[in-house]
Amino acid sequence: MTDRAQATRERILVAAERLYAEHGVLAVSNRQISEAAGQGNNTAVGYHFGTRADVVRAIVRKHTGPVERLRHRRLDDIGDRAPLRDWLGCLVYPTTEHLAELGTPTWFARFAAQVMTEPSLRTVAIEETLTSPSLARTVAGLCRCLPGLPAEVRAERNDLTRLVVVHAMAERERALAGGAGTPRAGWRATATALTDVLAGLWLAPVTKQGRRKEPP
């Protein structure tokens, strides 16, 4: 790929990520992305990437590489016998560190929240992020810390963790982009607060529910 083509692809990805984050993925057309990227040809998005799902996949891959490297580094630092809070930190800190490195404004957190709540594209995000080797290692370590937690409760809390992390980061990013105040001074402090919340979530008691009598 030539340098010119690569530069064009990058401009398209930046424009698409911003527009998707601000307006929602399905509300943005390829024509709008091409115009925002400074492309006179309205078919530039399709030419360089293909479908909307292909654009989303390319944006996710652009960010998951750096996040994956940061998570691997953190995993190597904590070792395999780390306590619960360290494993939870591996879920949170790599993304906040990446967002901090990008500077302000960023759009990735809001983009991720939009994609994860759009049924037609959610599978793309899951395939690209939730199947990463570092994430699988993190989840395995987390489960080792709570061997007595029933499988269904573990699955439920895993889903809740994803919701908390994705939307909390999106809200902070939205506040920063709008110039509003935030509860925490920086992304690192935000990650620490999120880790506190997740520790409480995973260590919460499990209420046993009796079997309900089915109606006749």
Domain boundaries, the chain: 1-50, 53-202
Q: What confidence score (pLDDT) does residue 129 get?
A: 83
Residue 213 has pLDDT above 70, yes or no: no
Exposure string for 48-70, b = 16+ CB within 10 A, e = fewer: bbeebeebbbbbbeebbeebbeb
Q: What confidence score (pLDDT) does residue 168 get?
A: 97
Residue 11 has pLDDT above 60, yes or no: yes
Residue 211 has pLDDT above 90, yes or no: no
| Section 15-32 average pLDDT | 96
Q: Assign a CATH topology to domain 1-50.
A: Arc Repressor Mutant, subunit A (1.10.10)
- 59-108 pLDDT, tens digit each: 999 999 999 999 999 999 999 999 999 999 999 999 999 999 999 999 99
- 111-155 pLDDT, tens digit each: 999 999 999 999 998 888 878 899 999 999 999 999 999 999 999
* Cα angle value 12/38/13 (rounded, 5°): 10
